[in-house]
């Protein structure tokens, strides 16, 4: 017996049991309704203060009349023991009683225990409870539930009645029939046979003088063996002629039942009108619902009075309206059972059983449909007033018709005169209509031609744009400016074709430039903190310290610096600036305090350069006579040591990364590496330049670059004292900076400034141009921190690089322009294609979280990592010694990560937990698939890939026998509906959102395009890039990315299925690909354990 058993106690408002004893309850209900309409709130106890025994009947009456929305009874606690019965759980609760699943100790068996509530103390309710026990005890039939025991028990100081019934392990007849139909082995004839079983039990009850009066699916159960069982005789009526007349008085003057299943006479106050034919009507409603799945009347959200009116007056909708196979004898039987008048229904249940048996055996039934005349006479008898009004209306219509005929005869002559004119007018109208139809056909044809032409034009435009993108992608590294100009051409790339491929190439060739006005005149110095957060400028207006993020001026001191380019040094965090002023003073600027401290110089000669020692108050000073001194600002004797390098001015000082050595360069090309502690030389070299003005070191003091004032720059290996590279004819004030440390020249990253350009080099080879003064035009923001108006940006000479500085820890370059502006730019042109390194030899899969802020990564060894884009950190959430992960998937809220691991089954990782590595197993019905947002996706035994197409509501799978399959999900199982063969070696599959298409790829390097519903192969797209290791579709379905084992990445335009970009990922073998939910990122994972992250937006744009 399930939770729906004995539904008489259910609090479901659609099946509320109601009764009204006498006119007193009707009067009390009318008084309550009037008070409620007037806005007053009166309790039932106050209304029934003179008759407390009517509180519960009035509560039930109100629930019936108002659809159970106003008054409810508080729920009680579930007892643990009732007499000798142990209560297991509550399964239903009603107006006066509750039903529990219980267990008896001897004999040991499960029972259904019905317990009268303590609050239901009226004699009438107790008498009705006793009546139900007597009726169930007296009715001994296999189709009627049996009573085992009854009695009274004292609970909480009150005596409460109870009885126990047999426990039925089954379902309501409605749920049972629906379940059988879903299995596909059910028919209308089986429904008839099942109903006959209930008819047999009701026939027995009627012969015993008992009318059920509350037939509904919840009270008609089918047990686990398919046998019908009747329950709930709580409101049954005993007929006066029955042998049970000793209790018949308890059921007189009663209006009872469940509204949708009550017969018309059950809504009357005359109890004598309710007999066996009322049960036939209720059974007819159930029969109608089993055959059609619907009720014969729409009584939802209607009051009790409205429901009574509908059932009394409205004829039921024909069952054949919903199922044409019901037309004929079966429909006649149902309509006979639902007749409004009891005399027109089957007289007895035996007659109904006989007609059902005739139908099931193929013989004609006795029931006949009433003729139209009989139906009309019955309607007139039910609606005498409406019939009289209709008769009067008919007589008036006849009279008016006679008058109209007389008037028509007089108008006939005039009509004849108009006939000829009408004929001529009709002919003219037909001609006009013919012309209009012709015009409309021409317009339709024109529209079709226009649409076809527009579609052809769009396809040609897309084809041209894709071909241009392919060509431009080969020039992106060498000629980024030319590529940018072409990408900005709206004729070649209008807004309609600027998709992911265009955005990616635009991002790759257009670094994130920021330009601001730093000085009203020419800038002479520029510096960057190691973390890139602060920029220091020096010019005619003095020293300024800027926040590189907000471009806000933090400090301004009107001090002009000395002429040497390294007369300025910035601490790694940008909180201290060391500088040599124009009057040869050495000073220290505390940025946070905005204070300047003059320092000892340790020499009587002019100071040229300065370098602070991070984390200390020490600093190095070089002078015009070639001496280098180390000083401590806080010491009584600040000079710690002095070393003579040359007799020419010192132009450069730099500390190595370890902080124990210092490199120094003089203007005559002499180079030395000294110990910072002792000042003794470690290495010496002589650069072949006579008039050097600028020099720069790498972090390891292995390489030094030296530049003359005009034309030439050299790169020198200090350890071997050897020239490695020379640049000639670079114009005025060239510079060569090193943005990385390496002992290998090919791995050394260089930034070269000269002839109006800033370019990036890898050893001897130029990689790309970062800035070209004659091709870039970056707008200048207005800065309130400057005195006076900020100068506007200009092209030409004012845009030429004057001096550059590189941040040590981040890829950021500050370029001081001759016009007084500073340009901030990244040194990595491939910022759109970041490389994430994992500790694994290979990566088998990647998956984005719904918000795109996290990336799940499955390593080749079966480990699972989670990369956070906000913190740019990766952490391991699952680790195993060996194995693999078949599938990764986030739920739609991003709260959990699911993974299918062969040895561990389906695992869930709650991402909101403190320790995300605390996974929990999920039981997917012992099958290898998993659940995400109630959609079945993943991998099952027959499929190596199984995906869910949310738009088509189907599964798309790649079977292990070289077949693609489309199916549905039925009760947790994947049911295949169509299969087609695919090329052997196919291992990748991606669904195109919203396009009713999916793609597959594999060993032959080709992509197959399929239609999802109905399953159909559309085309095959070949490529020369080799085996496909990963496929991904963008969220809008307009782009498909295919990653190949050779390391190449192809982007396909799915509108015309044409390649638009071919990129070299630099990975050994692509094995997985995934787009972010926003479509602004594409993750490509490979066999080298690396992930190439392609991004179409600048970080500033994302923020």
Per-residue model confidence (pLDDT) at position 125: 79
- Burial (Cβ within 10 Å: 0-12, 13-18, ≥19) of residue 994: middle
- Name the pairing type of β-strands 873-878 and 887-890: unpaired
Dihedrals phi, psi of 385, to nearest 5 degrees: -65, -45
Residue from 1087, 1076, 1091 nearest 847 by CA: 1076
- Residues 311 and 20: their CA atoms lie apart, in Å, by 19
- Residues 133 and 111: their CA atoms lie apart, in Å, by 15
Q: Is 489 a catalytic residue?
A: no
Q: Helix, strand or coil for residue 406? A: helix
Per-residue model confidence (pLDDT) at position 927: 42
Written as one string, the DSSP assignment of 883-928 is ----EEEE-TTSSEEEEEETTTEEEEEETTSSSTT--EEE--TTSS
Per-residue model confidence (pLDDT) at position 375: 58
Per-10-residue mean pLDDT, the chain, length 1103: 40 36 66 70 76 74 55 64 90 80 89 83 78 87 90 86 90 92 90 94 92 92 92 84 52 66 85 88 94 90 82 91 91 94 93 94 83 57 72 85 84 81 87 90 89 88 92 81 87 91 86 83 90 93 92 93 88 95 91 94 90 94 95 90 94 93 95 95 90 91 89 91 90 84 85 89 83 64 38 59 90 90 80 78 89 88 85 82 73 81 75 59 49 44 72 83 82 75 89 93 89 93 84 95 91 93 87 93 88 74 42
Contact between 41 and 47 under an 8 Å Cβ cutoff? The reply is: no
- Residues 657 and 670: their CA atoms lie apart, in Å, by 22
Per-residue model confidence (pLDDT) at position 201: 93
Per-residue model confidence (pLDDT) at position 405: 85
Q: In DSSP terms, which residues pair with 822 in a beta bridge?
A: 516, 816
Active-site choice (67, 214, 698, 865): 214
Provide the 8-state DSSP code for 561.
B
Residue from 511, 508, 497, 510 nearest 474 by CA: 508
Per-residue model confidence (pLDDT) at position 923: 57
Helix axes 276-292, 349-361, angle to 10 degrees: 30
Contact between 830 and 819 under an 8 Å Cβ cutoff? The reply is: no
For the beta carbon of residue 1094, count every other beta carbon within 10 angstroms: 25
- Residues 980 and 833: their CA atoms lie apart, in Å, by 38
Quote the Cα angle for 754-756-761, to 5°: 50
Q: Helix, strand or coil for residue 762? A: strand
Per-residue model confidence (pLDDT) at position 48: 83
Contact between 165 and 136 under an 8 Å Cβ cutoff? The reply is: yes
Residue from 526, 480, 509 nearest 817 by CA: 526
Q: What distance, in Å, lies between the first and last C-alpha atoms of the chain? A: 59
Place of tokens 């085996």: 1027
Helix axes 304-313, 55-65, angle to 10 degrees: 60
Half-sphere exposure of 559 (CA within 13 A, CB side): 28
Radius of gyration of the chain (CA): 46
Per-residue model confidence (pLDDT) at position 602: 84
- Residues 584 and 593: their CA atoms lie apart, in Å, by 23
Residue from 864, 861, 846 nearest 911 by CA: 864
Contact between 649 and 667 under an 8 Å Cβ cutoff? The reply is: yes
Which residues are within 8 A (CB) of 102 and not within 5 positions of it... i.e. 6 or more apart? 82, 85, 86, 87, 88, 110, 111, 112, 113, 164
Residue from 609, 617, 594 nearest 692 by CA: 609
The domains of the chain, with CATH numbers, are: 7-166 (3.30.200.20), 175-382 (1.10.510.10), 395-438 (no CATH), 473-505 (no CATH), 840-926 (2.40.10)
């Amino acid at each position: 017996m399930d939770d729906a058993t004995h539904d008489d106690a259910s609090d479901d408002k659609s099946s509320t049991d109601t009764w009204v004893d006498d006119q007193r309850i009707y009067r009390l209900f009318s008084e309550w309704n009037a008070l409620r309409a007037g806005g007053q709130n009166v309790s039932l106890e106050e209304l029934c203060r003179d008759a407390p025994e009517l509180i519960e009947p009035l509560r039930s009456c109100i629930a019936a009349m108002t659809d159970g929305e106003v008054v409810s009874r508080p729920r009680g606690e579930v007892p643990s023991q009732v007499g000798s019965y142990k209560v297991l759980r509550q399964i239903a609760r009603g107006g006066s009683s509750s039903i529990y699943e219980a267990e008896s100790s001897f004999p040991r068996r499960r029972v259904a225990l019905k317990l009268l509530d303590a609050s239901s103390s009226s004699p009438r309710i107790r008498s009705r409870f006793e009546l139900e026990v007597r009726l169930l005890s007296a009715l001994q039939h296999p189709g009627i539930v049996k009573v085992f025991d009854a009695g009274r028990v004292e609970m909480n100081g009150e005596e409460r009645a109870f009885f126990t019934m047999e426990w039925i392990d089954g379902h309501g007849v409605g749920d049972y029939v629906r379940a059988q139909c879903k299995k596909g082995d059910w028919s209308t004839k089986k429904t008839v046979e099942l109903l006959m079983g209930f008819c047999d039990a009701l026939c027995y009850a009627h012969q015993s003088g008992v009318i059920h009066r509350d037939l509904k699916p919840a009270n008609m159960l089918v047990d686990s063996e398919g046998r019908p069982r009747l329950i709930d005789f709580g409101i049954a009526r005993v007929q006066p002629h029955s042998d049970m007349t000793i209790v018949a008085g308890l059921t007189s003057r009663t209006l009872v039942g469940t509204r949708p299943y009550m017969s018309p006479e059950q809504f009357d106050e005359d109890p004598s009108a309710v007999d066996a034919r009322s049960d036939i009507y209720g059974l007819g409603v159930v029969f109608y619902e089993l055959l059609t799945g619907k009720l014969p009347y729409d009584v939802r959200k209607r009051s009790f009075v409205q429901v009574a009116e509908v059932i009394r007056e409205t004829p039921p909708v024909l069952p054949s309206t919903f199922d044409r196979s019901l037309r004929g004898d079966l429909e006649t039987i149902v309509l006979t059972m639902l007749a409004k008048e009891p005399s027109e229904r089957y007289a007895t249940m035996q007659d109904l059983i006989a007609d059902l048996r005739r139908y099931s055996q193929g013989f004609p039934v006795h029931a006949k449909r009433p003729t139209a005349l009989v139906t009309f006479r019955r309607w007139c008898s039910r609606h005498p007033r409406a019939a009289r009004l209709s008769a009067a209306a008919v007589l008036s219509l006849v009279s008016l018709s006679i008058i109209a005929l007389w008037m028509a005869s007089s108008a006939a002559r005039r009509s004849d005169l108009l006939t000829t004119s009408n004929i001529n007018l009709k002919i003219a109208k037909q001609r006009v209509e013919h012309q209009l139809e012709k015009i409309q056909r021409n317009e339709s044809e024109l529209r079709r031609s226009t649409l076809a032409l527009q579609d052809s034009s769009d396809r040609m435009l897309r084809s041209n744009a894709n071909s241009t993108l392919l060509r431009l992608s080969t020039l992106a590294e060498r000629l980024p400016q030319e590529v940018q100009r072409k990408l900005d051409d709206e004729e070649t790339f209008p807004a309609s074709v600027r998709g992911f491929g265009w955005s990616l190439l635009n991002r790759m060739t257009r670094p994130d430039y920021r330009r601001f006005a730093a000085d009203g005149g020419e800038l002479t110095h520029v510096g960057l903190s190691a973390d890139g957060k602060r920029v220091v400028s020096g010019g005619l207006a003095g020293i300024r310290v800027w926040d590189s993020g907000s471009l806000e001026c933090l400090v301004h001191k009107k001090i002009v610096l000395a002429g040497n380019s390294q007369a300025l040094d910035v601490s790694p965090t940008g909180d201290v600036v060391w500088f040599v002023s124009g009057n040869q003073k050495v000073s220290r600027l505390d940025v946070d305090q905005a204070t300047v401290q003059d320092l000892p110089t340790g020499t009587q000669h002019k100071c040229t350069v300065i370098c602070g020692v991070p984390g200390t108050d020490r600093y190095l000073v070089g002078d015009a006579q070639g001496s280098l001194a180390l000083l401590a600002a806080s010491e009584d004797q600040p000079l710690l040591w002095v070393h003579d390098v040359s007799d020419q001015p010192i132009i450069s000082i730099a500390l190595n990364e370890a902080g124990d050595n210092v490199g120094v360069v003089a203007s005559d090309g002499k180079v030395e590496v000294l110990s910072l502690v002792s000042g003794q030389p470690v290495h010496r070299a002589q650069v072949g330049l006579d008039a050097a003005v600028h020099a720069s070191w790498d972090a390891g003091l292995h390489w030094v670059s030296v530049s003359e004032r005009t034309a030439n720059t050299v790169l020198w290996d200090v350890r071997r004292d050897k020239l490695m590279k020379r640049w000639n004819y670079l114009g005025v004030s060239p510079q060569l900076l090193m943005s990385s440390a390496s002992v290998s020249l090919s791995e050394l990253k260089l930034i070269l400034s000269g002839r109006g350009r800033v370019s990036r080099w890898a050893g001897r080879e130029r990689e790309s141009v970062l800035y070209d003064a004659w091709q870039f035009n970056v707008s200048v923001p207005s800065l309130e921190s400057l005195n006076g108006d900020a100068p506007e940006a200009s092209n030409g000479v004012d845009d030429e690089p004057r001096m550059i500085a590189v941040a040590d820890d981040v890829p950021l370059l500050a370029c001081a322009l001759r016009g007084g502006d500073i340009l901030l730019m990244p040194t990595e042109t491939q910022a759109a294609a970041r490389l994430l390194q994992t500790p694994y030899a290979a990566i088998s899969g990647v998956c984005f979280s719904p918000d795109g802020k996290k990336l799940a990564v499955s390593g080749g060894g079966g480990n699972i990592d989670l990369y956070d884009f906000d913190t740019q950190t990766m952490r391991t959430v699952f680790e195993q010694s060996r194995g693999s992960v078949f599938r990764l998937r986030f739920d739609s809220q991003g709260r959990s990560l699911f993974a299918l691991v062969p040895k561990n089954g389906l695992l869930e990782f709650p991402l909101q937990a403190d320790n995300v590595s605390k996974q929990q197993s999920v039981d997917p019905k012992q099958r290898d698939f998993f659940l995400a947002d109630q959609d079945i996706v993943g991998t099952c035994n027959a499929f190596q890939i199984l995906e869910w197409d949310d738009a088509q509501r189907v599964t798309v799978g790649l079977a292990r026998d070289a077949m693609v399959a489309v199916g549905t999900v039925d009760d947790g199982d994947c049911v295949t509906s169509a299969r087609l063969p695919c090329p052997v070696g196919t291992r990748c599959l991606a669904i195109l959102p919203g396009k009713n298409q999916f793609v597959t790829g594999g060993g032959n390097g080709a992509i197959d395009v399929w239609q999802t519903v109905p399953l159909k192969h559309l085309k095959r797209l070949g490529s020369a890039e080799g085996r496909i290791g990963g496929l991904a579709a963008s969220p809008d379905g307009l782009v498909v990315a295919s990653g190949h084992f050779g390391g190449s990445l192809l982007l396909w335009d799915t509108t015309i299925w044409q390649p638009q970009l071919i990129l070299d990922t630099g990975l050994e073998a692509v094995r997985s690909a995934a787009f972010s939910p926003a479509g602004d990122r594409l993750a490509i994972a490979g066999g080298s354990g690396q992930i190439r992250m392609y991004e179409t937006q600048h970080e500033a744009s994302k923020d």
